[in-house]
Amino acid sequence: MSLSSPSAGAGSAVLPGPRSRARLGRPSLGGVLQLGFWAVLLLIILLPCLAFLVLAVSPRLFEQGSSYFTLHYITGVFTGQTAVAIGNSLWVSAVASMIGVAVGFPVAWLTSRTDLPGRGLITAAMWLVLLLPSWLPSLGWVRLVQLDGVMYRVGLHLPFVTHAVLGPAGVVLVLGIRNVPFAYLAISTALAGMGQEFEDAARVHGASRLGSIRVVAPIIAPAIWSAAAIGFAEAVSDFGVAATLAYQANFQLGTYQLYTAINNFPPSFPVAASMAWLLVASVGIPLGLQARALRGRSYAVLSGRSRQVVRRRLGVRSRLLGWSAIGLFFLVALGVPAFGAISGSLLADYGGSFSLSTANYSAVLSSSVLVAPVIRSLFYGVITATVTVALGYVAARHLTRSRTRATRFLDFLLLAAVAIPSVIFAAGYIMAYNLPILSRVGIDLYQTVGLLIIAYAASSLPTNTRILVGSVSQLQASLRDAARVHGAGPVRAWLRGIAPLMSRPLIYAWLLTFTAVFLELPISQLLYAPSQPPVSVAIEDNLSNYHFGLGTAQSVVAVALALAVVVCVLGAYRLLAPRGWRQVGAGR
């Protein structure tokens, strides 16, 4: 006797029951979260950027010109000093990106794969290099090598050094040094999660230590290419070096030309928007190279059977060579800017006399007006880093799951946002969120703390995502599926299968965002709420009003506080995280 309905043939469709119909009509939680994610990207990145970029072709929409459509400003970018400045930015950024990877990779290898002593100090020093705003080391170099600078005052007359530093070579050097921490963090997190078996296989087949590195390098290619792409985009968009060292060297860069167009009276927003179009398009260069190099390959190497890394023992000679090279890098990266800032903060009258004094530090620490911006920026940095890491992980998952049109668009959108200079990014927020139509519907975000934090998060999200994508790309779906098979829900499965492997990269990404936001200047200067300046704005106000001693002392205090936050977060992770989490990537 058949249990099926007599009217149900072999090709008949089975009608869903009441519970199935309810499921079909109700959107899934994953679909809602994905829709919300794209809505957030639309509101915080795409809309502000488009609001500014559209000025290049339709200035009348924002009352910046008489034409609803024109290519006049776009074509003008390819002529005169503007074309020279854009060309300089492109080749300088390419070289600086290569310097960042060339220096960051061996340092990451030494700290992740060998028993080089002082590895924790190297990581802390990298965070300090990352923490310093680009204008601070630039001013340190200028103060050292200029014709009436420290080098000449102590009797070192080296004109060739002055010409080398105050020129394209100096600009490339400073930007290249700025890119090393990005490469170091992206590559070291990828190396930390990768097991020992690949190097062991290479050594079994007769490969030398250098040969085993050549085997591992292609496996972490996503992290290497991400580091190169971040370095290029960061160098293209950097304003601090362009406004200080490059300006002193009379070496025009695109970001300073953008600033000049906006700072002129009257400002020329359409011209600046046209230059921004070209800088955004330039990120297609590293993206195209990355896509071509990684096309058709899988880099999912992490699984439950991955072996913990055993650190290679270095001989005395190798340790000395390693520390000598790393010490030289930190001397160049930190010694000069530290000397410039500290020497300036200890001069009581900053040039009126040469007596050393702690009066500037006493004034900063005893004045609530000078301390309040530091505390304010600390709060902004913590909130922004927490929000950005959550969004960055989701974005990294999207980029590594499959190469669809949506993920390719997301990849370009995030990297293009890195290439947009911060001053243009902030101008986009002014254009987008100061429109009268928003006020009519009750959205009044302009000149509020909320809009400033949103802008911070939007500007930090692209870099944060690129840092995480190398580690996320190594995760296999079986890690989460194994926990689900044993009855764990989605959150518990993530905590059991993914969190132990991603905890260290997520902590690094959080600290990266915090340090980037803490002393950020262009966005802070254009979008801070009235009477609530962040510390970078307060420092700039002191320096521009010729209170050099107070400004430099305030910057030293701010850097020391931010470094203390980095040390506390890493120390808390070491003390409070489960032992298994800390052992992933720590080696033996």
- In sequence order, what are the beta bridge partners of 312? 114
pLDDT-derived band at 187 (thresholds 50, 70, 90) equals: confident
What is the C-alpha to C-alpha distance for residues 144 and 122, in angstroms, rounded to an integer? 25
The answer, yes or no, to whether residue 304 has pLDDT greater than 50, is no
129 located within any domain: yes
- 171 pLDDT band, cuts 50/70/90, is very high
Q: What's the maximum distance between 2 C-alpha atoms anywhere in the chain?
A: 108
Q: Please report whether residue 287 resides in a domain.
A: yes
Which amino acid does the sequence have at 399?
A: L
Task: Check residue 61 and report its DSSP letter.
Answer: G
pLDDT at position 377, please? 92
Q: Helix/strand/coil (H, E, C) string of 150-162?
A: HHHHCCCCCHHHH
CB-side neighbour CA atoms (13 Å) of 561: 21
For residue 509, CA distances in Å to 123, 129, 192 come to: 13, 15, 14
Q: What number is the average pLDDT over the span 521-550?
A: 82
If pLDDT is split at 50, 70 and 90, which confidence band does 493 have?
Answer: low
Nearest CA to 48 out of 576, 492, 523 is that of 523
Span 491-497, mean pLDDT?
Answer: 67
β-strand partners of 356: 347
The answer to whether residue 330 is domain-embedded is yes
Confidence at residue 308, expressed as pLDDT on a 0 to 100 scale: 55
Say if 50 falls within a structural domain. Answer: no
| Residue pLDDT, tens place only, 124-148 | 888 778 777 787 788 778 777 877 6
Is residue 407 situated within a structural domain?
Answer: yes
- pLDDT class of 91 with cuts at 50, 70, 90: very high
Is the pLDDT at 175 greater than 90? The verdict is yes
Contact assessment for residue 107 and residue 184, using Cβ atoms and an 8 Å cutoff: yes
Say which residue, 197 or 404, is predicted with more confidence. Answer: 404
Q: What range defines the domain where residue 378 resides?
A: 58-294+315-583
C-alpha closest to that of 56 among 67, 45, 48, 41: 67
Q: Is residue 444 part of a domain?
A: yes
Phi, psi of 170 (to 5 degrees): -65, -40
Give the C-alpha separation, 232 to 473, whole Å: 21
The confidence score (pLDDT) of residue 462 equals: 83
What is the pLDDT of the chain when averaged over all its residues? 76
What confidence category does residue 534 fall into, taking pLDDT thresholds of 50, 70 and 90?
very high
Q: Determine what percent of the chain is predicted with pLDDT higher than 90.
A: 8
- CA dihedral 176→177→182→184, nearest 10 degrees, is 110
Assess if residue 2 is contained within a domain. Answer: no
Q: Which residue has the higher pLDDT, 29 or 59?
A: 59
* 14 — pLDDT class (breaks 50, 70, 90): very low
- pLDDT of residue 3 exceeding 50: no
Instruction: Tell me, yes or no, whether 8 lies in a domain.
Output: no
Count of structural domains within the chain: 1
* 542: amino acid identity, one letter: N
Q: Is 307 helix (H, G, I), strand (E, B) or coil?
A: coil
Separation CA 574–CA 568 (nearest Å): 10
Q: Give the CATH number, domain containing residue 405.
A: 1.10.3720.10
Band (pLDDT 50/70/90 cuts) for residue 173 is very high
- Stretch among 85-94, 317-326, 497-506, 553-562 having the lowest mean pLDDT: 497-506
pTM score, two decimals?
0.68
Kindly tell me if the per-residue pLDDT of 385 is higher than 80.
Answer: yes
pLDDT in tens, 206-242: 555 665 666 666 667 777 887 888 888 888 888 888 8
The backbone torsions φ and ψ at residue 504, rounded to the nearest 5 degrees and listed phi first, read -65, -50
Q: pLDDT digits over 405-429, tens only?
A: 777 788 777 766 766 777 777 878 8
